[in-house]
Amino acid sequence: MPSTATHSGQHHWWTSSPSGRGTASILSSCLITILLCCWNAVCPNVPALSDSKWNQFHDKVTLAMIALLGPEFLLGVAAGQYSSAKRSAKAFQKAKIKDWSLTHAFYADMGGHIDWPCVEKRDIDDKNKADGLARLIRSRFITIIQAVWFFANTVARAFQGLAITTLELTALSFIVIMFGTSICWMHKPADVTVPTILQSRVTLEHIHLDASLSNYQWFHTPLDFAGREECQLSKLWAYYTHILRILHLPVYSRPITVKPRDRIPSDTWLQTDLPREFLSAPFILGFCITLISAWNFYFPTPIERLLWRIATGFFMAGGVISGGWLMLTEHLVRKHRMKKKTSSSDTVLPSVEQDKRSRSVAEKLRNISTPLDPELKVHLSILIPMTIGCAIYCILRLYIWVEDIIGLRDLPPSAFKTVEWTKYIPHF
């Protein structure tokens, strides 16, 4: 990448593009690339039967907004869902049950439900509006072309020593990480609007009796006991979105107003296993390196360069530290949960009234869900440092967006030169 620490030219608040690149072309190209990446990479879950087209659009916007907040967050959502699908497929394989593919697992996890073995993969593919190669060619062809062209153009500028703007690096970072997101959701059915309706052959009372449940209080569905385990990221996300609703800022996560739940929210965080962590790591690393490569770029003022270094350095270090911390705490929590299960013969969840008794200030901070769901209790050792880190992240992320725009007011002259592609064409 070209390094331009000083710049002797005059300040240009707006540069036209009669015969080369201009401010408008840089801005439009980058924003189009970012928006295409965010919109076409997302893959919402199955909506409720009562959901309108607007509700379905809202779910897709929610995932796109997560990407705009931090594209690595959306990769985390996708990697968790991919991990859950792999665990499901592995469990069926271990039980020597055939014909349970990753597509089946994704479809079940996203709220489509499965009446196994009646529902075949081709039935799910029929619901999938953009499966396999069709998804690649039809719905994402324009995005792929734009991303490849943008990537090639940015790399060529670096090789030819032409200045690259921070906005272009931000767009490039979205391309890198959205590619990883698309890999994680490759087998997830896209734009499925109608779930498969199942008819239970036994009553819920009979199921609870067979499971030896006593004083059972459920919060999502009567089948919570069958495998509801909230990971730390899921608890934190529920905590923060609840705060936003209290502040009347429901930016993320469309609330569920019925009980039992009639859908699985699209922004559901599931536990990521180690192989998927390793799959995500190169893309997150590429995302951070892309932004941090502007370390010695020209900035209009020294303070802007310093803030960029602080922000990108924080993204790099914060990702490693927070990821390691969450993995450690998740391991300890799971170990404690398994120990608790083996020491108790019955599955008993505390009632809401029990959880309300003599709650200390610390206890109230751990759980702000309504009603008080014991599965959403967050340990203060996780909540406090992650909340501080997330607040800093959001502030620095906002700075990145602001700097991307205001940085266009004063660019080196070479930022407006176009790539000479003839240099790469063989001459005979």
Q: State what percent of residues in the chain have pLDDT above 70.
A: 81
pTM of this structure: 0.85
Instruction: Give the residue with greater pLDDT, 422 vs 241.
Output: 241
Cβ contact 190:129 at 8 Å: yes
Instruction: Give the residue with greater pLDDT, 55 vs 371.
Output: 55
The yes-or-no verdict on residue 232 having pLDDT over 50 is: yes
Q: What is the pLDDT of residue 41?
A: 85
Cβ contact 229:271 at 8 Å: yes
* Least confident residue range of 93-102, 320-329, 338-347: 338-347
Helix pair 71-94, 102-109: axis angle to 10 deg: 120
Q: What is the pLDDT of residue 143?
A: 81
Q: What is the pLDDT of residue 124?
A: 66
* Least confident residue range of 121-130, 153-162, 227-236, 379-388: 121-130
Rg value, the chain, Cα:
24
Residues found in the chain: 428
The yes-or-no verdict on residue 108 having pLDDT over 60 is: yes
* Least confident residue range of 13-27, 176-190, 376-390: 13-27
Q: State what percent of residues in the chain have pLDDT above 90.
A: 35
Q: What is the pLDDT of residue 114?
A: 67
Average pLDDT over residues 358-377: 82
Give, in order, the Cα–Cα distances in Å from 171 to each of 3, 26, 35, 168.
19, 11, 9, 5
- Phi, psi at residue 416, to the nearest 5°? -100, 5
pLDDT in tens, 149-180: 999 999 999 999 999 999 999 999 999 998 99
The yes-or-no verdict on residue 398 having pLDDT over 90 is: yes
Q: What is the pLDDT of residue 349?
A: 43
186-200, 270-284, 303-317 — which one is most confidently predicted on average? 303-317
CA distance 253 to 6: 45
Q: What is the pLDDT of residue 30?
A: 94
CA distance 157 to 165: 11
CA distance 7 to 2: 13
pLDDT in tens, 33-89: 999 899 888 899 999 988 999 999 999 999 999 999 999 999 999 999 999 999 998
Amino acid at 265: P
Cβ contact 372:138 at 8 Å: no
Q: Which residue in 236, 211, 324 sits closest to 274, CA to CA?
A: 324
Cβ contact 381:53 at 8 Å: no
Q: Does the N-terminal peptide bond of residue 117 adopt cis geometry, omega within 30 degrees of 0? A: yes
Q: What is the pLDDT of residue 355?
A: 47
The yes-or-no verdict on residue 12 having pLDDT over 90 is: no
Q: What is the pLDDT of residue 304?
A: 96
- Please give the angle made by the CA atoms of 104, 108 and 113, to the nearest 5 degrees: 110
- Tokens at residue 360, please? 């200390």
Hey, which residues does 213 pair with through a beta bridge?
347
183-197, 366-380, 381-395 — which one is most confidently predicted on average? 381-395
Mean pLDDT of all residues belonging to the chain: 82
Q: What is the pLDDT of residue 131?
A: 46
Q: Quick one: pLDDT band at residue 302, thresholds 50, 70, 90?
A: very high
| 3-state SS class at 211 | coil
Q: What is the pLDDT of residue 392?
A: 94
The yes-or-no verdict on residue 350 having pLDDT over 60 is: no
Cβ contact 104:121 at 8 Å: yes
Q: Quick one: pLDDT band at residue 353, thresholds 50, 70, 90?
A: very low
The yes-or-no verdict on residue 354 having pLDDT over 70 is: no
* Least confident residue range of 329-333, 341-345, 393-397, 409-413: 341-345
The yes-or-no verdict on residue 225 having pLDDT over 90 is: no
Cβ contact 231:273 at 8 Å: no
pLDDT in tens, 239-259: 999 998 888 887 788 888 888
3-state SS of 364-384 is HHHCCCCCCCHHHCCCHHHHH
Amino acid at 202: V
Q: What is the pLDDT of residue 210?
A: 75
Average pLDDT over residues 306-317: 94
